Structure 1
Amino acid sequence: MAVRQDARTVTLATPGYEIAVAREPFAITTRRAGRTVLATAASGAFDVTRPDGTRVTPTKVASARWSHGTLDLSVATSDAATTLTVAVTPSADRYRVRTGVKGASAASATALHLDMASGGHWYGHGEAKSDAEGEPDTRQPWPLDAATGKEQVNDTSFGPASYLMTEPFWFTATSAGLYVDTGNLMRVSLGRLHPGVADFEVTDTASLDATFFVERTPRAVYQDYIGIAGRPRAVGATPAQFTEPLWNSWAQFYSTVDQKGFLEYARSLHDAGVLGHTMQLDDGWMTHYGDYTWNAKFPDPKGMSDQIHAMGYGFGVWITQWINLDADNYQVAKDKGYLLKSKQDPSQPCTVTWWNGKAGLIDLGNPDAYRWYEGQLKKLQADYGVDGFKFDTKFFDERCAASNGLDAAGYRRLGAELAQQFDLQGAGIRVHWTGAQKYGFVTRTVDKGTDWASLNAAVKQNLAVSVIGYPFVATDMIGGSDSMPPPSPEVLVRWAQAAALMPIEYSSTSPLKVYDFVNRTWVTYPPEVARHYAAATRLHAALAPYIRDQADRAVRTGEPIMKPLFFRHPDDPASYTVADEWLLGDALLAAPVLASGTSRDVHLPPGAWYDVVRHRAVKGGGLRGYRADLGTVPLFVRLGTSDTPRLLKILE
């Protein structure tokens, strides 16, 4: 390590990169091979917000001291009575920055500001929230900097208890990365609050702990983060769940589902020869939300379960931890102290609003409440032959008070441990934040609309979730949902084809017929829709052994199954902005049609590829106007890999 100081700059030089700290105005720039790969924003590197809303910003470095491998900086600020302390500790492929405040009253938040252009294209984050209408159901930027205006990322509730799958990790095309070590709620803006600036604010703290990665490829940055967060300890789905789709009732019926309709739905799919491993009953079966008893629409739930099993399917139901105020269980849980408490009045339960009304939330930090909830799920299994569950819930809410010394991450852990006792049936669970990777859950991305924009958002969100460490991804139900009119025949088929080339298939809308709840009419699809849908499920089943091998690899190494082209081809500049293709493993490139029409442009990274549809070898580059009618899925096998021979055998 070489340390150089002059009147303007303090420079730390390692064999792989250097950190330049400008004295006035205070700024930090990271360079590799003489090129800037990441820099703090010109408007200021950090700031601290006081409880009254006043922002204190750094001005100049008052002192700098190198000792025991750390550069300690004392930085003057816009408040003469406040000093920012900054400790920079470099190592081989990263450096850690820890900040604090001296002389100030309590701070309500601490923020870091980075110049987005210095990193080129940005990735990571997970499911992206913005100010645009319909997000994130119909929008997900890829790369993150591709969004403009109201579609730019702006999440004011970014944290471990968020319903969205998010992670405090970002990386760039320059092979730099950022990890913010916190369990606190964050506010994240990528260009929305301040043009060209990535703002990362951690609330309820006067300090910040961030690690900056400096590597030679983006994939190496990803691996650095996985080294911190951990890789899956086990594969979160059975072989059958990797082979055939899960069928869930939501988009087919929404909450109007009844026993007769559910059985007809299952029987029609079975008779049509569309593959599936499980029939899962979504919202609409409970007497009240939080009561695990059947409403009048299900006169014989055990008989229904038996009929589902007789068709060769598993049987599952949707559950949540929210207990609505009108539920019988609410008064039971309130009287026994099983609900999270209010922050304002700890003698009362915390009341939150979710998409189905006002509710309390079971306090898993209370061992008796945990066992009570767990017991109700096991009783459903024992009494009605329920094989598994779709967990659709939060395990904590920052609006409530924690118990037993837990924080949001602690509740996430308890929720994950509870869920691991049960078969999640390929629907998985939405558990996230640094360290949650180890559970190996299947992750279904957030509900989507039913149009082309939603399909494209589904693909991008799968990529976004994959590159924050969750390899077992499925889109929201094939064809989407979100109380929109059913997908067009073209959208439904193309979505099924895309999902066939992802780790897990998650289905709902029947390719035979579906009820349009917006226009109050049944929609019967043309016969070719079921034919093409069934063909897509067979394609996925044929690829399942290859996909399962990638799943095992994810456990060994943390490598995503579905990944961006530049993970394997970092020296291909065009790959960094391709948002409608991906690699499945290292050897199969998926380029399904994601827009109306019968052709698309395809980008192939450098090298030799086999065009599965045209039965020909092709070189990397652009294929313009590649023809693909409704029954055709553009696929390309990388030649010369260990997986090439078996993929060619499967796909020929």
Structure 2
Amino acid sequence: MKFTDGYWMMRDGVHAAYATEIADIRVAEDRFTLYAPVRRVRRRGDTLNGALLTVECFAPAEGVIGVRVTHHGGGPDRGPHLAPRPPAEGPAGAAAGKVTRDGTLLELASGGLSLRVDTAAGYRLDFTADGRTLTSAGARGTGFATTPDGAHHSLAQLSLGVGELVYGLGERFTPFTRNGQSVDIWQADGGTASEQAYKNIPFHLTNRGYGVFVNHPGKVSYEVGSEAVGQVQFSVADQTLEYYVVHGPAPKDVLARYTALTGRPALPPAWSLGLWLSTSFTTSYDEETVTRFVRGMAERGIPLGVFHFDCFWMRAYQWCDFTWDPEVFPDPEGMLRRLREDHGLKTCVWINPYIAQKSPLFDEARELGYLVRRPDGGVWQWDMWQAGMGLVDFTHPGARAWYADQLRALLGQGVDCFKTDFGERVPTDVVWHDGSDPERMHNYYTQLYNRTVFETLTEARGEGDAVVFARSATAGGQRYPVHWGGDCESTFGAMAESLRGGLSLGLSGFGFWSHDIGGFEGTPDAALFKRWAQFGLLSSHSRLHGSTSYRVPWEFDDEAVAVTRDFTRLKHRLMPYLMHAARQAAERGTPVMRAMLLDFPDDPACHTLDRQYMLGDDLLVAPVLTPDGTVDYYVPHGTWTHLLSGARVSGPGWHREQYGFDSLPLLARPGSVLPFGAGEESAVYDWADGVTLRAHQLPDGADVTTRVPRPDGQPDAVFRTRRTGRSVTVEATGAPGPWRLLLDGAAHTAPEGATELTAPPAP
């Protein structure tokens, strides 16, 4: 929030105090504490009747430095907490940080990052790396403010350099760079066309080689160059503010360190990367409708991987009681078995954390104490979404076990996964079972909700076969993939909004992301559906879903069928490449869909791009966002190869082209060797058997290793491609069958069992 009235004055009724100097220090081997008065101390009397801030500086991990500023520290610690706090003493801190002193200069170093303080000068914290200052907390950089309502806000300001851009803070649909924006980290169900967000993450990344994580689960208010134009300010209504500066130096390194602190994504099952088809939300459907849709996809040659049942698989007024509506689904076990055995489909059902009063489960949960309560002891209820609904209290261990039991019953019927909708409209005028602070629980609730569902799936299906389709998240929620972008309109503008949100979420530590192909609200025209289908099938996860209308492709036109079929098959052939990218997300925190900044941090032209992205390491995707097929996109340095046409595109520079519905800018990076699987009908097959290695513009001296994962858990097939002069040689290890090299348009086939292939490039 804003505290000042311009540069010189405070807003009416606001009183602020800032750390002014350092009165005392306490130094340990791996951390130090500063004691900072909020006014100059010239004589003993100045120590009376004034605040003294306690500023603890520590290193929770290599390349990360934490700062915890406390005004009054005597209050209760009610929780919850986003990240575990480091111990006050002990080997964990000692291993991460080291303190040195040189006269009045105090330095805490961790990896390549240092925090430097001159204890004899005015209060200032300088975070440095590689011989330069990354950011600083200066004259107004540490303090607190009281507002007319009596609230106490702890605040910090970190400087922005010239040309420094800020990204992240969750899945936000506003302009891609956060500079100039006011952002509240507060879960809301605001769609994709507002400043509100379903996934609010108090972590921002900049293009200067660092990020900042505010370790607070409640409302964090940001002013990103919007109050003091050269500062990022963040504040919390609390007596303590804790933040971590996370060093890179590359943006991918920042994400790796941040996700090491808050959790890396689990690796989703390979089948989840196939095409999902939904009943849509309020459309009329029953088993006959489902069967007709599934058969229609098969008859038109569109491979389908997952069928999703949205809300009305349950009876109206009884969500969420986990019981199939017998009028439309009289034999759910038989239906799920037929979908699995006859069509090879996985199934997903919609759930939420609400229990409607009409459901028998409401009384059961109320009597057991499993619903969130009002301060007077009664159950908190309202009529939004479902009449008289209550909210499951996931802070109660019994409630978590009870909720998991409802899910296990569905898994026993044959359900494979769950769409975990909602989790944002969480009240603050309530009492939680474990005594959590209601304001801190508002954002954190989604963590408990999605974790309960994900861990239930992991327990039932095994490690590596669990996936949810979640809408809400907070910091650390990336551990429970996958997430989708929420309620967007069926317009080209909303398609661009969704992409901005997905790229922003990726820069906030989330590895997997999806969206509603065609848009959710309204009905897309045929042109929009086809363009969105291309985009959706070049995303980590792909789902056809709408609100009041179906999203089966033949509802639009025959060309929509062809586009959906061809791009689904293309995605299946890309599975060895995509699963390698998925591993990178799970192992390093690098998202599958990446803002161009992540791969090209040294190209300033890439720093603001939000209408294109990298899909894995080596594919550039620029979705077509216009009705006439015109697209403007930027190509970084080198000669790139159009994956669908073979055309060459040179960079650096901008290109404007027009595309039919059978294509879009999909470019292979120069020097890349992309593995294309031989299967088109399913996302799951032996990706290494019959794989084609597509080599693109290999320079002399190139040495590229391509790993092809195996869905059965067998060791990867590994291909090493080297070019010497005009000769290209591939060495293969672990390839189960014949494989090919596609080089400059010419195919060279290695027979089964071959471990080496040498091919001259075409003239």
TM range (shorter): 0.7 to 0.9
Match of 2:257 in 1: 224
> Partners of 2:380 and 2:620 in 1: how far apart?
48
Match of 1:122 in 2: 166
Structure 1 unaligned residues grouped into runs of 5+ = 1-39, 129-138, 517-521
> Partners of 1:119 and 1:66 in 2: how far apart?
35
Letter in 2 for 1:433: T
SS in structure 2 opposite 1:142? Answer: coil
Match of 1:369 in 2: 399
Is 1:486 matched up with 2:514?
no
**Closer/same/farther in 2, CA of residues 395 and 155 from structure 1, 3 Å limit:** closer
> Partners of 2:370 and 2:64 in 1: how far apart?
44
Is 1:416 matched up with 2:416?
no
State the 1:127 CA deviation.
Answer: 1.7
Q: Deviations over 1:461-485 (max 9, x none)?
A: 221121222212212x21111xx32
State the 1:215 CA deviation.
Answer: 4.6
Match of 2:760 in 1: none
> Partners of 1:226 and 1:43 in 2: how far apart?
37
Match of 2:138 in 1: none
Is 1:96 matched up with 2:66?
yes
> Partners of 2:26 and 2:395 in 1: how far apart?
43
How do 1:425-504 residues align onto structure 2 when only pairs under 5 Å count? Answer: 427-430=468-471, 432-437=473-478, 439-475=479-515, 477-481=516-520, 484-504=521-541
Is 1:397 matched up with 2:436?
no
Q: Deviations over 1:195-220 (max 9, x none)?
A: 776442223x2111112345543333
Match of 1:112 in 2: 156
> Partners of 1:202 and 1:60 in 2: how far apart?
17
> Partners of 1:114 and 1:332 in 2: how far apart?
50
> Partners of 1:116 and 1:353 in 2: how far apart?
46
> Partners of 2:187 and 2:346 in 1: how far apart?
36
Match of 2:580 in 1: 549
Greater CA drift, 494-503 or 348-357: 348-357
> Partners of 1:568 and 1:461 in 2: how far apart?
18
SS in structure 2 opposite 1:167? Answer: strand
State the 1:141 CA deviation.
Answer: 2.2
Given that 2:167 and 2:206 are in contact with CA atoms closer than 8 Å, whether structure 1 keeps it comes out as: yes
State the 1:341 CA deviation.
Answer: 1.6
Given that 1:366 and 1:404 are in contact with CA atoms closer than 8 Å, whether structure 2 keeps it comes out as: yes
State the 1:486 CA deviation.
Answer: 0.8
How do 1:236-255 residues align onto structure 2 when only pairs under 5 Å count? Answer: 236=268, 238-242=269-273, 244-250=274-280, 254=282
Which has more helix, going by share of residues? 1
Match of 2:625 in 1: 594
Aligned length: 573
Is 1:208 matched up with 2:241?
yes
State the 1:595 CA deviation.
Answer: 2.2
Letter in 1 for 2:469: G
> Partners of 2:246 and 2:414 in 1: how far apart?
49
Given that 1:474 and 1:506 are in contact with CA atoms closer than 8 Å, whether structure 2 keeps it comes out as: yes
Is 1:314 matched up with 2:346?
yes
Match of 1:87 in 2: 55
Letter in 2 for 1:360: G
State the 1:576 CA deviation.
Answer: 0.6
State the 1:43 CA deviation.
Answer: 6.7
Given that 2:307 and 2:347 are in contact with CA atoms closer than 8 Å, whether structure 1 keeps it comes out as: yes
> Partners of 1:646 and 1:239 in 2: how far apart?
20
Match of 1:577 in 2: 608
**Closer/same/farther in 2, CA of residues 74 and 365 from structure 1, 3 Å limit:** closer
Match of 1:535 in 2: 566
Letter in 1 for 2:304: G
SS in structure 2 opposite 1:231? Answer: coil
How do 1:130-149 residues align onto structure 2 when only pairs under 5 Å count? Answer: 139-145=173-179
> Partners of 1:515 and 1:501 in 2: how far apart?
21
Higher relative contact order (CA 8 A, sep 6+): 1
> Partners of 1:530 and 1:523 in 2: how far apart?
6
State the 1:71 CA deviation.
Answer: 6.5
State the 1:609 CA deviation.
Answer: 1.9
Given that 1:427 and 1:444 are in contact with CA atoms closer than 8 Å, whether structure 2 keeps it comes out as: no
> Partners of 1:544 and 1:112 in 2: how far apart?
45
> Partners of 1:509 and 1:357 in 2: how far apart?
24
State the 1:378 CA deviation.
Answer: 2.2
2:14 to 55, 68, 72: 55
Match of 1:30 in 2: none
Given that 1:240 and 1:277 are in contact with CA atoms closer than 8 Å, whether structure 2 keeps it comes out as: yes
Is 1:335 matched up with 2:367?
yes
Is 1:286 matched up with 2:305?
no
> Partners of 1:71 and 1:202 in 2: how far apart?
21
Match of 1:7 in 2: none
Q: Deviations over 1:13-72 (max 9, x none)?
A: xxxxxxxxxxxxxxxxxxxxxxxxxxx999789x9x9xxx95331256144545525462
**Closer/same/farther in 2, CA of residues 201 and 448 from structure 1, 3 Å limit:** same
> Partners of 1:378 and 1:215 in 2: how far apart?
42
Q: Deviations over 1:113-158 (max 9, x none)?
A: 4566756221111122xxxxxxxxxx4421223xx7xxx4533625
Given that 2:20 and 2:39 are in contact with CA atoms closer than 8 Å, whether structure 1 keeps it comes out as: no
1:267 to 295, 311, 316: 295
Letter in 2 for 1:464: S
> Partners of 1:215 and 1:240 in 2: how far apart?
33
Letter in 2 for 1:61: T
Is 1:607 matched up with 2:641?
no
Match of 1:34 in 2: none
**Closer/same/farther in 2, CA of residues 588 and 333 from structure 1, 3 Å limit:** same
1:638 to 669, 676, 695: 669
Is 1:178 matched up with 2:212?
yes
SS in structure 2 opposite 1:210? Answer: strand
Larger of the two Rg values belongs to structure: 2
What's the TM-score once normalised by structure 1's chain length? 0.78
Is 1:625 matched up with 2:587?
no
Q: Deviations over 1:376-399 (max 9, x none)?
A: 2222333x4333322224299352
Is 1:385 matched up with 2:419?
no
Letter in 1 for 2:297: L
State the 1:621 CA deviation.
Answer: 1.8
Letter in 1 for 2:563: H
State the 1:487 CA deviation.
Answer: 1.0
Letter in 1 for 2:456: Q
Given that 1:426 and 1:504 are in contact with CA atoms closer than 8 Å, whether structure 2 keeps it comes out as: no
SS in structure 1 opposite 2:574? Answer: helix
SS in structure 1 opposite 2:668? Answer: strand
Match of 1:3 in 2: none
**Closer/same/farther in 2, CA of residues 42 and 96 from structure 1, 3 Å limit:** farther
State the 1:436 CA deviation.
Answer: 3.5
**Closer/same/farther in 2, CA of residues 42 and 209 from structure 1, 3 Å limit:** farther
State the 1:433 CA deviation.
Answer: 3.2
Structure 2 unaligned residues grouped into runs of 5+ = 41-45, 74-143, 189-195, 676-691, 696-740, 746-763
**Closer/same/farther in 2, CA of residues 626 and 323 from structure 1, 3 Å limit:** same
> Partners of 1:153 and 1:245 in 2: how far apart?
37
Given that 1:603 and 1:621 are in contact with CA atoms closer than 8 Å, whether structure 2 keeps it comes out as: yes
**Closer/same/farther in 2, CA of residues 620 and 71 from structure 1, 3 Å limit:** farther
> Partners of 2:643 and 2:169 in 1: how far apart?
34
Given that 2:450 and 2:470 are in contact with CA atoms closer than 8 Å, whether structure 1 keeps it comes out as: no
> Partners of 1:628 and 1:638 in 2: how far apart?
20
Given that 2:423 and 2:445 are in contact with CA atoms closer than 8 Å, whether structure 1 keeps it comes out as: no
Match of 1:324 in 2: 356
Greater CA drift, 642-651 or 262-271: 642-651
